[in-house]
Amino acid sequence: MFIKGYTINEKDIRLKYTRALEKFVRSNISYLKEPEFIFEVFQKRVKRTFEMLKKVQTIRLDSAYPMALENYVNLVLGVLHVEDIKQEEKNIIKENLLKEANLLHKEKNKTRYKKDKHKTKKFNDGY
């Protein structure tokens, strides 16, 4: 793909795909946290946001966080195939999706807050 002497390389495609995944996840998580959550509206929202995600070229992801994003997106897309279930089961699905979203957020922040604890109290035996 050429745009005035510029070629889109694999890194640019990967970044665009990762950002699209993040946008899909953020949008759906924000609705999961709504107090007036309606499962059928959530399914419509997933369909709508998935249409935007389909426009982006998919690419192989190697890092832990982008792979976790992709797995979460597949988990959310599984909601589209659920029909005619009781309200309790819908609440269980919602809670599972929120739990996985929290784990995804934890995975994203895992590398940010590394701190070398007790770095001033290292053991030195004189050798």
- Strand-pair partners of 2: 7
Q: Would you state the pLDDT for residue 68?
A: 92
pLDDT, average across residues 37-42 = 89
- Residue 68's SS3 state is helix
Confidence category of residue 4, pLDDT binned at 50, 70, 90: low
118 — pLDDT class (breaks 50, 70, 90): low
Give the rounded percent of residues in the chain with a pLDDT score beyond 90.
45
pTM for the full predicted model: 0.77
